[in-house]
Amino acid sequence: MSSAVIVQPPPAARISREHSPFIDEPSLRLIRVNEATPADAAAWDHTVARHRDATVFHNFGWRRAVEDVFGHQAHYLAAWRDERMVGVLPMFRVGGPLVGRTLVSVPYGVGGGILADDDGARDALYDAAVDLADRLKCTGIEFRSARAALSNPPVSDLYYGFRKVLPDCITDVLGFLPRKARAVARNARDKHKLTVHYGDEYLRTVWKLYTVNMRRLASLAYPYRFFQQLISHHPGRHLVSLVCWKDKPVAGLVTFMFRDTVYPYFYGANEDARRCGAAHFVYYSLMEWAVRARYRVFDFGRTRRDNTGGVDFKRFCGFEPRPLGYQTYVAPGRKSRDLTPRNPKLRLVRRLWPNLPLCVTTPLGGELSKYIPG
């Protein structure tokens, strides 16, 4: 936006203030919405940190990584009341032959959407976002909120989220898992003698395992530079885990931390991982690490409702699915784009993808992911 948008209080609020001149309710003051600049980063992250629905994906660090690697234009809207930032909406303009031109809050992230102190700030941000989408000739806006924050756009039924409060004591972590999952994790530790190692020096190895796993799932793997940028923009708030079996890497995980929550985000594994229970072991190990570091919540990310394998795995680990409150605004006269595996145009590619060599899927996936904002 080239200039700020000023949003008046609702008429009822203005009337009540006229009749009660001594009332100084914050919600009755004018709100202005403009695009946040790097100079606003500290105020932005402070606003995010104090909101109950905030996620690691709302932080300014996510913006920097996405801009640096994928080159998407950021439109980070901030709502101000006087000199106080009272709401934020992080968005990126994403364009391509499959998606058209759309605003996504936020791409490559599970979370996003509007964070606001009150209804006035929320409505001001939404109105400004719709106005921006119209001026940029976008097909619409995707809000990736865990809880639906808006009354108008319909709520998607596509994704489940999985979150659970961790136990207080590290000795209770194994018992925190359901019986069968506990047996797999214990066997991985005691029978197969899996070991876990932590450190940024394992990042490239974890990323290579991730590309193998994403090819198997017929999904696009993000480029290594995105991993690097995310870590560099989240100093002290990330963890790289590498699991070894017989002294050889079999699985890995990149995790982010925000407030009291850990977000295991990028998982990788090779063909040996299933034989030794590496998937269960890497998450079990992360739970122990998180409890030791005094984190309280384990966010297991999102899974499509129709991805029964992914849903079943997380339920097997004791996490019950909860519908995510994703919402999509579609501009008048426009049509939303379906980039999920149920899109017939993508089915053939998904059937072929696991059979292609890594030397093809890795660079091609990195390029295509610029146009398909996962």
Q: For residue 103, tell me if it sits in a domain.
A: yes
Residue 67 CA: distances (Å) to CA of 107, 160, 208, 229: 11, 27, 23, 10
Q: How many CB atoms lie within 10 A of CB 180?
A: 11
Residue 146 CA: distances (Å) to CA of 2, 124, 295: 30, 20, 20
pLDDT at 6: 43
Same domain, 242 and 330: no
Which structural domain range is residue 119 located in? 5-157+326-337
- Can you give the CATH number for the domain in which 226 is found? 3.40.630.30
pLDDT at 19: 34
Strand partners, 95: 101
Asked if 299 and 263 count as a contact pair (C-beta separation under 8 A), the reply is: yes
Give yes or no for residue 59 having a pLDDT over 90. Answer: yes
Q: Which pLDDT tens digit goes with each residue over 298-312?
A: 999 999 999 999 999
pLDDT at 95: 86
Same domain, 109 and 236: no
Residue 77 pLDDT level (bands cut at 50, 70, 90): very high
Give yes or no for residue 14 having a pLDDT over 70. Answer: no
pLDDT at 339: 62
pLDDT at 4: 52
Same domain, 64 and 82: yes
Average of per-residue pLDDT across 360-374? 89
Average of per-residue pLDDT across 207-221? 95
